[in-house]
């Protein structure tokens, strides 16, 4: 039997976070995962702003490097279509669950620091190329935080779409076993509400971004 002392403080913190991000209440899951994602995004943003070369990650996003579509509406449809496709990849990733954690969660936690580093190094495809200084005002002005929030809402709302499960660790050695079928999937009313809200928020974020891109490139 593994005691709490054997697990250690890091393990206890990880277990506590795991309980909240995988909570039965979808709103608890949403707030918990959002805090985790926001924390790693902010940390990467600040560290890259002060310590990484400017423009280091420029050109790393194939969607961001695409030419301006020519109008706000076409740019919006391009951005929204791309982001919906990315969100569906995250939902599909949720069909794999390691112990209690869906793979879609992992994707959000991994992508957030990369996006923060893009801000911190001034690597956005559209714009002056200047670093984005960490501040609360920037979070309100830009559409990126809205996109991140939308993706978090989508993945926590679809946590239950599991097909393959890895029962225990070590995660790099254990195989996934098929334990369910799509006919077993069922979202609660609150999960459906959060899912729809996530896509609406994503649409708003993409429209704001399309307007910003049109003002720069148009």
Tens-place pLDDT, residues 164-206: 999 886 677 788 999 999 999 999 999 999 999 999 999 999 9
Reported confidence tier of residue 127, pLDDT bands at 50, 70, 90: low
Cβ within 8 Å of residue 11, ≥6 positions away: none
Mean pLDDT of the region 11-21:
88
More confident residue, 59 or 201: 201
SS3 for 96? strand
* Average pLDDT of the residues in 56-80: 76
pLDDT of residue 125: 66
Would you state the pLDDT for residue 59? 65
- How many Å apart are CA 150 and CA 80, to the nearest integer? 12
The pLDDT of residue 2:
44
What ranges do the domains of the chain cover? 8-217
Mean residue pLDDT across the chain: 88
Residue 98: strand pairing partners: 101, 166
Alpha-carbon gap, residue 95 to 164, rounded angstroms: 6
- For the stretch 78-123, pLDDT in tens is 999 999 999 999 999 999 999 899 999 999 999 999 999 999 998 8
Please report the pLDDT score of residue 29 as a whole number.
97
Q: Which ranges of the chain does DSSP label H, i.e. alpha helix?
A: 4-21, 26-51, 72-93, 103-120, 136-141, 144-157, 189-217
The C-alpha atoms of residue 106 and residue 138 are separated, in whole angstroms, by: 26
pLDDT tens-digit map of 151-165 = 999 999 999 999 999
Predicted confidence band at 4 (pLDDT cuts at 50, 70, 90)? very low
């Amino acid at each position: 039997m593994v005691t709490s002392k054997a697990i250690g403080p890091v393990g206890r913190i990880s277990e506590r976070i795991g309980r909240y991000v995988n909570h039965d209440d979808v709103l608890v899951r949403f707030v918990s995962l959002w805090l985790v994602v926001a924390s790693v995004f902010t940390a990467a943003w600040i560290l890259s702003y002060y310590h990484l070369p400017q423009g280091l990650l420029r050109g790393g996003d194939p969607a961001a490097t695409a030419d301006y579509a020519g109008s706000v509406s076409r740019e919006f449809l391009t951005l929204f279509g791309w982001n919906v496709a990315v969100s569906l990849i995250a939902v599909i990733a949720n069909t794999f669950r390691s112990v209690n954690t869906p793979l879609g969660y992992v994707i959000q936690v991994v992508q957030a620091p990369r996006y923060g580093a893009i801000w911190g190094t001034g690597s956005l495809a559209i714009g002056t190329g200047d670093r984005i200084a960490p501040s609360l005002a920037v979070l309100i002005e830009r559409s990126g935080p809205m996109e991140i929030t939308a993706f978090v809402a989508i993945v926590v709302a679809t946590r239950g779409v599991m097909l393959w499960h890895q029962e225990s660790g070590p995660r790099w050695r254990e195989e996934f076993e098929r334990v369910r079928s799509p006919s077993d999937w069922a979202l609660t009313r609150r999960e459906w509400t959060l899912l729809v809200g996530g896509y609406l928020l994503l649409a708003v974020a993409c429209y704001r971004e399309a307007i910003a891109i049109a003002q720069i490139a148009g």
